[in-house]
Structures are given as C-alpha cells and as structure tokens.
Amino acid sequence: QVQLQESGPGLVKPSQTLSLTCTVSGDSISSGGYYWSWIRQHPGKGLEWIGYMFYNGITYYNPSLKSRVIISVDTSKNQFSLRLSSVSAADTAVYYCARVVQRDGPFDYWGQGTLVIVSS
C-alpha cells in the first residue's frame, strides 16, 4: 500500500521560505513511472496544483507560482520536497503531496495534508 506523509513547520513568517517534505512508503520514487506532486488548499477553498516532479528531477510548476517554487527529490530517503519562497498570508493553506501516473493523469495517492500558517 502506497502511503505519503507530509512534514514540516506549521508556522512560517512572512517573506520567509516555506519548506515541506513528503516521505513515500510502499513505492520507490527512483523506480520511475510516476510524477510526485504538491497541491494546496486555502482554508475553505478549492484545490490548487503547485507542481510535480519526475524521479529524474524534471519539474513542472503552476505558472502562477513558478517564480517562487522549487520541488526537489532525495531518492536515497525516498522523499521529495517543496520550497516556496517569499511567502505571505495568501500562502496559508493545507499542503498535500500526491502521486500521479502521468502529467494528465489522476492523483491516485495523497498524503493526509499539513496546515501551514503564514504569520508573524
């Protein structure tokens, strides 16, 4: 059974960088065949795709966030990470990591989500 688990600070100060890690179990990121993604949900709002990454490091980002986002992988730890720079209150959201078979495919496995609040 594939499982994903987000981890990272729940509180980030404005203008700083939000950093989250997703630990994958039950599947190997380096085996290829999947894209590994970050998605967020603002409080009481809908889902927003942030970006995804293939195991070899190729990344695709939401154009609206592209200038501030970096998704990276650590295959030795079977983890992938999100870094979002210059955060503001508008980045307060629940952040999910998820697996997708192909770029236009469904997100078949999700983490439970982690709430990140941006506040001083």
Partner 1 sequence: QSVLTQPPSVSGAPGQRVTISCTGSSSDIGAGYDVHWYQQLPGTAPKLLIYGNSHRPSGVPDRFSGSKSGTSASLAITGLQADDEADYYCQSYDSSLINSLFGGGTKLTVL
Interface ranges with partner 1 (CB under 8 A): 37, 39, 45-49, 51-52, 60-63, 96, 100, 103-108, 110-113
- Sheet architecture: strand order including 18-25: 3-7, 18-25, 79-84, 69-74
Q: What is the CA radius of gyration of the chain?
A: 13
By beta-carbon proximity to partner 1, the closer residue of 100 and 118 is 100
Closer of 32 and 106 to partner 1 (Cβ):
106
What's the angle, vertex CA 24, arms to CA 115 and CA 90, rounded to 5?
A: 25
CA 44/CA 19 separation, integer angstroms: 22
User: From the CB of 67, what's the least distance to partner 1, in Å?
Assistant: 15
* Beta-ladder partners of 109: 99
Q: Do the beta carbons of residue 48 and residue 118 sit within 8 Å?
A: no
Shortest distance (Å) from residue 104 CB to partner 1: 4
Min dist CB 22 to partner 1, Å, is 12
Amino acid at 86: S
Closer to partner 1 by Cβ: residue 55 or 110: 110
Our CB check for partner 1 shows the closer of 60 and 75 to be 60
CB of 79 to partner 1, least distance (A): 18
